[in-house]
Amino acid sequence: MPSRSDVTNFGAGPAALPTDVIEDAAQALVNYEGTGVGLAEWSHRSSKAVKIINEAKENLASYLDIPNDYEILFMHGGGSGEFAAVAYNFVGAWVARKERELASSGLELQSAVTKLKMDYIVTGGWSQKAADEAKRLFGSEHVNIAATSKKSDGTFGGTIPDESTWNLSQDAAMVYYCDNETVDGVEFPAFPTSLAPGANGPIVVADMSSNILSRTIPIKNFSAIFFGAQKNLGMTGITVVVINKRFLPQPSADLMRKLGLPIPPRILEYDTIAKNNSLYNTLSIFDVYVAGQVLKRLLRQHPKVQGQQAIAEEKAQLIYGALEAHSDLYRIIPDKSVRSRMNICFRIEGGDASEKAFLDEAESLGFMGLKGHRSLGGIRASNYNSISPEEAKKLAKFINTFASQRGALANEQK
């Protein structure tokens, strides 16, 4: 039976965690700080729980340079829950803003609501799901697909549409995009220039579940970002929202009903979560603790995220370089200009049989989690922060070795 040191987990999520963090968490789960009570058994209202939350918030803010006018929330529901939450909350913030503006002009708020739009930049399966959820909750008339890389056959092209083609709405409640599409291996190389902040917006919201803590973020350009913990931060169970505080206030439920707009469940209402320091309902303190330990470990290695960014880019280049060296065998799925550093997706010449041979041999060598998403197939190496440069080098070496073996076999068969 293999030990942890024998296996490298390239799974897309839940992703690998550093072994020392797991060992510390295992002890805390049994007996936290010598109290005789495991951390999962401590009340989420206890002083110990509040300390864990506050330390994690402080360390995240320090690592990513999050300004003081932003709130950090720990929530449940994963990214899928946030598809609904961001729509609910930013439509609510839009209504609150319009209520203030129109009160002085004497215009009818009900008429303004007919022009309400949420803009979505669709570059893969996750941003598509987010747009679909907004349509389900608010109606397709309020959702504008400002750009899409979806092809006529329903698949995505491994590209991001040129910004000159984006059809952004005026005065949208938000412009939403997924910074890194886990399934399709597409990552925005930088913050979109067409979304540059100005006096009147745009109001930009981004899903950063798969690449958070791996590069610098111009936080001030965003009204909110969110990310599931289970990729680069911790375990499945908590989702983090970083939101500019000015978008927290919501209109009354009576007004939203009068306007024919839905209101969020309390546990998806950012203002409620913020006012309760993420403790409106029973938060999983153990999951926050694990995330906090990951953050402390990152801070010991690099005081700011720039250090981890350099490592992420080095690892990605090692793996992409090996694939490019054998372009006759490997086909990298996304366009080179938008390749993800976190989720490296490729196909192998020879189809399913070749890819199965690659996966079987990889598993025999201790490489796990390399099978592509069920909707796309192929191979996917998720290069999260827990993957060390040495492990990335080992995978690159295997990619080269497999190609050489295939080449030798092809020559024998001629």
pLDDT digits (tens, 9 = 90+) for 322-364: 999 999 999 999 999 999 999 999 999 999 999 999 999 999 9
Kindly state the helix (H) or strand (E) to which residue 29 belongs, with its residue range: helix 19-30
Q: Please list, in sequence order, all residues whose beta carbon lies within 8 angstroms of the beta carbon of residue 388, skipping any fewer than 6 positions away.
A: none
Tell me the average pLDDT across 379-383. 98
pLDDT at residue 414, as a whole number: 55
Using pLDDT thresholds of 50, 70 and 90, give the confidence band for residue 2: confident
pLDDT at residue 107, as a whole number: 76
Using pLDDT thresholds of 50, 70 and 90, give the confidence band for residue 53: very high
pLDDT tens figures, 169-184: 999 999 999 999 999 9
Whether residue 312 contacts residue 383, with contact meaning beta carbons closer than 8 Å, is answered with yes
Using the predicted structure, report yes or no on whether residue 241 has a pLDDT greater than 90.
yes
pLDDT at residue 410, as a whole number: 61
pLDDT tens figures, 82-123: 999 999 999 999 999 999 999 877 678 999 999 999 999 999
Using pLDDT thresholds of 50, 70 and 90, give the confidence band for residue 261: very high
Domains of the chain by residue range: 35-299, 305-413
Closest CA to 323 of 401, 400, 402, 407: 400
pLDDT at residue 142, as a whole number: 98
Round the average pLDDT of the chain to a whole number and report it. Answer: 95
Whether residue 231 contacts residue 207, with contact meaning beta carbons closer than 8 Å, is answered with no
pLDDT at residue 1, as a whole number: 76
Give the pTM: 0.96
Using pLDDT thresholds of 50, 70 and 90, give the confidence band for residue 127: very high
Is CATH 1.10.3720.10 the classification given to domain 305-413? no
Closest CA to 120 of 129, 109, 107, 108: 129
Q: Which CATH class is domain 35-299?
A: alpha beta
